[in-house]
Amino acid sequence: MSNVCVSEWRCEEEQRINSSLRGAERKAALCSLLEQETQLIAAIGQHRIAVHNNNYDKAIRNFLDKVSAPPPHPALSMQSVIVFILH
């Protein structure tokens, strides 16, 4: 989704540049636009990696918490009682 937004932004900027500049100024503005687009795409990619790593860490932490929790032991009155098993 975000790459689509960057692409739309680039198209709008390119149209603005093409309609208002000519010659060397146009080429310089297009080069600058390409540099900005590259930086935006790289930043989005880095953000996606950070979010993925954070979500992965949370999933591992939740799994470890779940498997390390003491197992519930059903009592005779059908209420749950936590039993600690000592080794």
Residues 73, 81 contacting (CB under 8 angstroms)? yes
Q: How many CA atoms lie within 13 A of 16 on its CB side?
A: 8
For the chain, give every domain's residue range: 2-82
Residue 68 phi, psi (nearest 5):
-90, -5
Tell me which of 76 and 15 has the higher pLDDT. 15
- Please determine, for residue 19, whether its predicted confidence score (pLDDT) is greater than 70: yes
Residue positions counted in the chain: 87
Task: Using alpha carbons, list the distances in angstroms from residue 57 to 46, 47, 48, 66.
Answer: 17, 15, 14, 14
Q: How far is CA 38 from the centre of its chain?
A: 18
Which pLDDT belongs to residue 45?
Answer: 92
Which pLDDT belongs to residue 85?
Answer: 74
pLDDT tens profile 28-84: 999 999 999 999 999 999 999 999 999 999 999 999 988 888 776 665 555 666 667
